[in-house]
């Protein structure tokens, strides 16, 4: 009965129409776009990592059904363009709100930019597809064996089928009780009647001619015609080796070419999944490689190649068993305060609002001085050059120094004749302003902080004339920020309590400074856009690093998903090095992130306020912090070797028979 139902389903007109639509090129391209749209739900603020994994798995499955390089290229281009376009939709807010572009023009530019990012995945993915192909040499008719697609009639198949049926009848002549008309055809040695080598891993019993090779699909090694040549497609090598290599290579190109824009790494979608346990080992690039391996194994499982499913299972179990492992040691906490001024971006650079902005930050900060070990203002908190408010900064520096509460100020600096930097200054650690530590931003936002072809593009309109968009890139090699703290033991605490009663803040700080030796903490600084570059942060960190301080102005994103995505990227940076991060922004999301990448405390968006936390520094390095991308490079090399070995593999008769058992 079941066999009859199955036969009816396969022969029904509806089934034929559905199969035709599924195999149609236009349907496959639409499916790629829909899968890309689903995949974007894996990223912040949704964090549905399972949907990202499913989306990627089915996209890879679709790629294995394609038989043309052009179609592989288009499918990858459409998938990653859709993924990028929906994830980067906040760009439209920037272009319409500040660049004064019409919404249609904004979406067009955003789609073109998304396609630009996707084209590297498409090009290298197509190259991976080509590597998985092997041209077949002309062979004698009895030298190979492949299984034809039962849905495609081929010339010469009738005689072959009759021969196979005759052999089956002969084998059952001695069994009078055998009367199963739905029995499977014979497989293995009995089907061939003699030992011979199978060059393609095919089901035994079929001898192809040149017409039969076209469109034939066999376990793991489909054979088809590409142009004028008959080729074999090494599906497992493509899915598990060459394609992950290609897509990770595309990520490296996107992060480097034209200053780079590494916002959309697949690994960011696994932030709140068990797989995040691998981040301190291989970083976000390695996490992207792991999700590609899992998706590839699941794609082959959809093909009923169940032998590859344990790859995903082992990676998942490994993540579960390594969850929460700490590679660093916690140090005594310090008190930190982040000031979120919430100055609207539309008025931030208006000279009429400069004094009100300064007043707001001073009013929010003054009560914090003396009770915090460090106070942090966001990126470009004051919309001026430091030279323009030098007397004010000198007074603030002296006041915070006397009360032992350093202040990290985001402000620009200018060097004649025409050099300006987006910088942060560490005030309050020396009596003189000239001794303040300075860090200059090293990675600038294209078209936001630096304009390529400035003389030509400036005249085209507001899109290329954002305020403060002519910065100079800071030196790549810069020192970490050092925070010197007086040791606070019981004696100091007692002295502080006694002086607090008298209201003498100066006596309190004198007692703290006189008590034992001070300790120094080192912080890796990051300004906004810099946080999306994994190597930029990791290269500055070393054994002495105790935490990360990130300042940003996410008002550019408005009420889009941009601030949530930027926060998720910052969490990955903290987890890679297992260094806690104090992240302070102009309008949100200001947050304290612990060494495991968890948000401990945060402020709401679009409000002015102060985030006070007990910041727990750490000491030591993770494997990723110590070795960088070396483990990933080793994995990629091993994957390339395995892929090439699979491509050169020739199955024997016994191995081919076993493959028919693995795939029912």
Query: Is 379 an active-site residue?
Result: yes
Residue 443 burial (C-beta neighbours within 10 Å; 0-12, 13-18, 19+): buried
47 in any annotated domain? yes
Task: Note whether 257 and 112 are same-domain residues.
Answer: yes
Domain-terminating residue out of 325, 350, 378: 325
Which residue ranges in the chain fall short of pLDDT 70?
1-22, 137-229, 450-469, 486-518, 650-664
Would 428 be classed as within a structural domain? Answer: yes
The tally of domains found in the chain comes to 2
Instruction: Looking at the structure, tell me whether residues 295 and 427 fall in a common domain.
Output: no
pLDDT in tens, 56-80: 999 999 999 888 899 999 999 999 9
Q: Is the domain of 118 the same as that of 251?
A: yes
In a domain, 638, yes or no: no
Q: How many residues does the structure list for the chain?
A: 664
Return the exposure string of 356-379: e unless at least 16 CB atoms fall within 10 Å of the residue's CB, then b: ebbebbeebbeebbbebbbbbbbb
Q: Which of 74, 294, 528, 579 is catalytic?
A: 528
Same domain, 435 and 533: yes
Based on the domain organization, do 291 and 413 belong to the same domain? Answer: no
Distance (Å, whole) CA 438 – CA 424: 6
Of 259, 294, 325, the position where a domain reaches its end is: 325
- Domain co-membership, 345 together with 294: no
For 120, list phi and psi in degrees, rounded to 5. -70, -40
Residues 311 and 370 in one domain: no
Rounded to two decimals, the pTM is: 0.81
Catalytic residue among 219, 230, 348, 441: 441
Is residue 579, in this structure, part of any structural domain at all? yes
Regarding whether 396 and 294 lie in a shared domain, the answer is no
Instruction: State both tokens at 503.
Output: 């209201």
In terms of domains, do 279 and 385 share one?
no
CATH code of residue 367: 3.60.110.10
Task: Please say if 89 is a catalytic residue.
Answer: no
The answer to whether residue 528 is catalytic is yes
Q: Does one domain contain both 543 and 430?
A: yes
Are residue 247 and residue 393 in the same domain, yes or no?
no
Domain boundary among 279, 301, 325: 325
The domain in which residue 385 lies consists of 329-443+522-625
Would residue 41 count as lying in a domain?
A: yes
Count of CB atoms within 10 A of residue 452's CB?
11
Count of CB atoms situated within 10 Å of the CB of 15: 12
pLDDT recorded at residue 346: 79
- Write out pLDDT tens, residues 432-487: 999 999 999 999 888 777 666 555 555 555 555 556 657 889 999 999 999 998 65
Domain membership of residue 432 (yes or no) is: yes
pLDDT at position 451 is 63
Same domain, 273 and 250: yes
Across-strand partners of 424? 410, 439
Is 315 part of a structural domain of the chain?
yes
Residue 201 within any structural domain of the chain: no
The predicted structure's pLDDT at residue 453: 55
Closest CA to 395 of 417, 366, 373, 420: 366
């Amino acid at each position: 009965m079941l066999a009859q139902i199955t036969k009816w389903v396969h022969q029904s007109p509806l089934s034929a129409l559905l199969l035709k639509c599924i195999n149609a090129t236009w349907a496959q391209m639409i499916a790629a776009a829909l899968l890309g749209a689903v995949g974007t739900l894996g990223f912040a603020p949704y964090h549905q990592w399972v949907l990202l994994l499913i989306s990627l798995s089915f996209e890879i499955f679709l790629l294995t059904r394609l038989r043309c390089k052009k179609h592989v290229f288009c499918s990858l281009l459409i998938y990653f363009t859709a993924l990028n376009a929906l994830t980067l939709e906040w760009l439209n807010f920037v272009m319409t709100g500040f660049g004064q572009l019409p919404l249609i023009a904004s979406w067009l530019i955003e789609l073109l930019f998304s396609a630009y990012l996707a084209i590297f995945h498409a090009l290298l993915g197509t190259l991976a597809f080509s590597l998985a192909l092997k041209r077949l040499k002309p062979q004698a008719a009895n030298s190979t064996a492949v299984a034809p697609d039962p849905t495609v009639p081929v010339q010469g198949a009738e005689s072959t089928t009759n021969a196979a049926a005759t052999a089956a009848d002969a084998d059952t002549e001695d069994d009078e009780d055998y009367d199963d008309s739905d029995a499977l055809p014979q497989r293995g040695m009995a089907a061939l009647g003699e030992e011979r080598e199978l060059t393609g891993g095919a089901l035994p019993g079929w001898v192809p001619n040149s017409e039969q090779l076209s469109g034939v699909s066999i376990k793991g090694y489909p054979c088809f015609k590409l142009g004028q040549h008959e080729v074999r497609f090494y599906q497992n090598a493509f899915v598990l080796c060459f394609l992950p290599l290609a897509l990770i290579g595309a990520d490296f190109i996107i992060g480097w070419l034209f200053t780079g824009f590494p916002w959309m790494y697949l690994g960011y979608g696994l932030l709140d999944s068990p797989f995040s346990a691998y981040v301190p080992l291989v970083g976000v690039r390695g996490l992207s490689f792991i999700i590609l391996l899992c998706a590839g194994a699941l794609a082959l499982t959809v093909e009923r190649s169940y032998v590859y499913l344990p790859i995903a299972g082992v990676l998942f179990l490994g993540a579960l068993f390594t969850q929460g492992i700490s590679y660093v040691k916690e140090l005594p906490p310090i008190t930190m305060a982040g000031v979120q001024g919430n100055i609207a971006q539309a008025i931030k650079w208006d000279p009429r609002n400069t004094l009100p902005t300064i007043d707001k930050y001073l009013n929010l900060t003054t009560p914090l001085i003396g009770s915090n070990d460090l106070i942090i203002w966001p990126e470009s908190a004051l919309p001026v050059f430091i030279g323009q408010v030098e007397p004010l900064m000198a007074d603030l520096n002296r006041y915070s120094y006397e009360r032992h509460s350093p202040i990290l100020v985001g402000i620009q600096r200018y060097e004649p004749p025409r050099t300006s930097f987006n910088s942060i200054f560490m005030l309050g650690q020396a009596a003189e302003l000239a001794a303040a530590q300075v860090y200059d931003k090293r990675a600038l936002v294209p078209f936001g902080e630096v304009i390529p072809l400035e003389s030509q593009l400036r005249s085209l309109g507001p899109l290329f004339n954002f305020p403060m968009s002519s910065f100079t890139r800071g030196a790549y090699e810069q020192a970490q920020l050092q925070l010197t703290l007086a040791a606070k033991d019981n004696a100091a605490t007692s002295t502080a309590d006694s002086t607090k009663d008298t209201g003498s803040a100066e006596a309190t700080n004198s007692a703290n400074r006189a008590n034992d030796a001070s300790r120094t903490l080192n912080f890796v600084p990051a300004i906004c856009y810099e946080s999306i570059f994994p190597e930029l942060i990791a290269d500055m960190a070393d054994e002495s690093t105790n935490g990360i301080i990130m300042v940003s102005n996410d008002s550019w994103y408005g009420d889009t998903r941009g601030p949530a995505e930027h926060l998720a990227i910052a969490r990955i940076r903290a987890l890679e090095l297992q260094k806690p991060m104090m992240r302070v922004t102009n309008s949100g999301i200001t947050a304290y992130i612990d060494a495991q990448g968890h948000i401990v405390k945060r402020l709401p968006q679009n409000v002015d306020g102060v985030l006070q936390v007990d910041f727990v520094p750490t000491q030591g390095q993770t494997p990723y912090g110590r070795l960088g991308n070396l483990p990933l490079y080793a994995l990629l090399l091993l994957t390339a070797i395995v892929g090439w070995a699979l491509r050169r593999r020739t199955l024997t008769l016994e191995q081919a028979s076993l493959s028919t058992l693995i795939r029912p």
